[in-house]
């Protein structure tokens, strides 16, 4: 029996969409917090295959989602390329910065990242053995633009200003950084597939801050390059692209990049997406994550509205962004029940 997620990604319209959540393995779950404490810190958890597999499996055991997504972090790629990476409690990631051609020259080639990332591949191998037969396994990476914003700034920023400045002032160096991340991402995702991933997702969390030619050059073109290379190596593996807050640029993104599915953030209406985006194939999304905190009738109503709006084509139900640490675990059950009864 083909897994529900794979059927939707292949373009099948299902009476009930497959369901999973971005960040479904995370701090809103008490069992995750216990495992995180056992690991000692976030990066140790990412690089411990047994514990990373355990936190990936926890929401599957609790909720029976149709897919599990590898527990890792988008910044493992910069670290594998040679950037220093550490996490500050309560503040998030910090990296050594790449702001010049000299900084770029000190990074490793894209095909020399496997020694650092081997534990991630082992996590996928464990999951491919231990997941229920009906549950699809998703691998992922950050898209080049989003990863570059962290590498240039050395941390997350509200407006991605440092990356925009480097892009505008030294486009040649910035383009070379994007190209390096792109090639590393192709290698990384290909290795994830070889380790057991049945689907891969490309997270471009900051795509919405790119406009015009910049969107074409640094969001669309790298996604197209990555997807084309993956399809050449692994033609049967579907790819989900998430150019978050792309707005009108969601239109035609699947055709332009070769993505099998376009994930939508919650700033766009599902009814609009059905007319403008779903006509090209599968869409994923897009419940506002705040409903996982507030719950109540609004959660049920919105989950069912989205399900019904996108019922005319292939759809994967998800949030419009990751579930937040203050979410109520019981609201996840309410969401799943609402979608399946819509």
Helix (H) or strand (E) holding 263: strand 261-263
Shared domain for 108 and 44, answered yes or no, is: no
pLDDT greater than 80 at residue 199: yes
27 catalytic residue (yes or no): yes
Contact 196, 125 (CB under 8 A): yes
% of the chain beyond a pLDDT of 90: 98
55 in a domain, yes or no?
A: yes
Shared domain for 44 and 180, answered yes or no, is: no
272 in a domain, yes or no?
A: no
**322-to-15, 92, 198, 274, 275 alpha-carbon distances in Å:** 25, 15, 21, 22, 25
b/e per residue, 17-51, with b = 16+ CB within 10 A? bbbbbbbbbbebbebbeebbeebeeebebbbbbeb
User: What confidence tier does 212 reach under pLDDT thresholds 50, 70, 90?
Assistant: very high
pLDDT greater than 80 at residue 110: yes
Sign of CA dihedral 279, 6, 320, 304: positive
The total number of structural domains that make up the chain: 2
Sign of CA dihedral 163, 169, 170, 172: positive
Mean pLDDT of the chain: 97
Report how far residue 277's alpha carbon sits from residue 291's, in angstroms, rounded to the nearest whole number: 24
169 in a domain, yes or no?
A: yes
132 in a domain, yes or no?
A: yes
Contact 323, 62 (CB under 8 A): no
pLDDT greater than 90 at residue 1: no
Strand partners, 239: 200
Considering the candidates 62, 73, 280, 328, report the single residue annotated as catalytic. 73
CA proximity to 195, closest of 123, 141, 111 = 123
pLDDT value of position 90: 81
Contact 292, 24 (CB under 8 A): no
Q: Which domain holds residue 185?
A: 74-263
Shared domain for 231 and 108, answered yes or no, is: yes
pLDDT value of position 76: 98
> pLDDT digit string (tens) for 32-79?
999 999 999 999 999 999 999 999 999 999 999 999 999 999 999 999
pTM above 0.95, yes or no: yes
pLDDT value of position 91: 86
Shared domain for 126 and 187, answered yes or no, is: yes
Boundary-marking domain end, from 209, 237, 263: 263
> pLDDT digit string (tens) for 79-95?
999 999 999 888 889 99
Boundary-marking domain end, from 207, 235, 263: 263
Boundary-marking domain end, from 231, 263, 295: 263
DSSP 97-153: ---SHHHHHTSPPGGG-HHHHHHHHHHHHHHHHHS-TT-EEEEEEE-HHHHHHHHHH
232: domain CATH number is 3.20.20.210
293 in a domain, yes or no?
A: no
Pairing state of beta strands 315-319 and 199-204? Answer: unpaired
Shared domain for 113 and 204, answered yes or no, is: yes
> pLDDT digit string (tens) for 301-335?
999 999 999 999 999 999 999 999 999 999 999 99
User: What confidence tier does 99 reach under pLDDT thresholds 50, 70, 90?
Assistant: very high
Contact 278, 315 (CB under 8 A): yes
Shared domain for 155 and 256, answered yes or no, is: yes
275 in a domain, yes or no?
A: no
DSSP 19: B
Shared domain for 123 and 41, answered yes or no, is: no
Shared domain for 48 and 195, answered yes or no, is: no
Q: Which long-range contacts (CB under 8 A, 24 or more apart) does 111-119 make?
A: 111/183, 111/187, 113/77, 113/80, 113/81, 113/184, 113/187, 113/188, 114/80, 114/187, 114/191, 116/76, 116/79, 116/80, 117/76, 117/80, 117/188, 117/191, 119/46, 119/47, 119/48, 119/49, 119/52
> pLDDT digit string (tens) for 273-309?
999 999 999 999 999 999 999 999 999 999 999 999 9
Shared domain for 176 and 35, answered yes or no, is: no
23 catalytic residue (yes or no): yes
User: Nearest-5° angle of CA 92, CA 98, CA 100?
Assistant: 155
296 in a domain, yes or no?
A: no
User: What confidence tier does 263 reach under pLDDT thresholds 50, 70, 90?
Assistant: very high
CA proximity to 70, closest of 161, 3, 135 = 135
188 catalytic residue (yes or no): no
291 in a domain, yes or no?
A: no
Shared domain for 87 and 233, answered yes or no, is: yes
pLDDT value of position 167: 98
Shared domain for 131 and 55, answered yes or no, is: no
User: What confidence tier does 128 reach under pLDDT thresholds 50, 70, 90?
Assistant: very high
Three-state secondary structure call for residue 220? helix
> pLDDT digit string (tens) for 139-179?
999 999 999 999 999 999 999 999 999 999 999 999 999 99
pLDDT value of position 153: 97
Shared domain for 57 and 37, answered yes or no, is: yes
Considering the candidates 28, 32, 63, 150, report the single residue annotated as catalytic. 150
Considering the candidates 7, 36, 191, 244, report the single residue annotated as catalytic. 36
């Amino acid at each position: 029996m083909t897994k529900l997620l794979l059927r939707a990604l292949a373009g099948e319209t299902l009476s009930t969409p497959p369901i999973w959540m971005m960040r479904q393995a995370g701090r809103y779950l008490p069992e995750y917090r216990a495992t995180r404490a056992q690991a000692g810190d976030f990066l140790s958890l990412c690089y411990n295959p047994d514990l990373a597999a355990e936190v990936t499996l926890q929401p599957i055991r609790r909720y029976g989602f149709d897919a599990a997504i590898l527990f890792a972090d988008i910044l493992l790629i910069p670290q594998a390329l040679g950037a220093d990476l550490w996490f500050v409690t309560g503040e998030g990631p910090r990296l050594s910065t790449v702001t010049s051609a000299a900084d770029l020259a000190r990074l490793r080639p894209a095909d020399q990242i496997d020694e650092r990332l081997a534990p991630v591949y082992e996590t996928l191998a464990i999951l491919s053995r231990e997941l229920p037969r009906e549950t699809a396994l998703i691998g992922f990476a950050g898209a080049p633009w989003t990863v570059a914003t962290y590498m240039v700034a050395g941390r997350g920023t509200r407006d991605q200003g440092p990356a925009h400045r480097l892009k505008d002032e030294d486009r040649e160096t910035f383009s070379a950084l994007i190209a390096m991340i792109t090639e590393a991402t192709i290698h990384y995702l290909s290795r994830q597939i070889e380790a057991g991933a049945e689907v891969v997702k490309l997270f471009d969390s900051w795509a919405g801050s790119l406009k015009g030619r910049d969107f074409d050059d640094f969001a669309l073109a790298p996604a197209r390059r990555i997807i084309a290379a993956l399809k050449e190596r692994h033609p049967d593996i579907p790819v989900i692209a998430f150019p978050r807050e792309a707005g009108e640029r969601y239109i035609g993104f699947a055709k332009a990049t070769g993505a099998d599915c376009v994930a939508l953030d919650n700033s766009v209406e599902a009814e609009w997406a059905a007319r403008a985006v779903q006509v090209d194939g599968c869409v994923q999304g897009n419940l506002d994550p705040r409903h996982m905190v507030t719950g109540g009738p609004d959660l049920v109503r919105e989950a069912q509205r989205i399900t019904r709006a996108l019922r005319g084509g292939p759809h994967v139900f998800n949030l419009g962004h990751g579930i937040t640490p203050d979410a109520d675990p019981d609201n996840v059950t309410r969401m799943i029940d609402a979608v399946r009864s819509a």
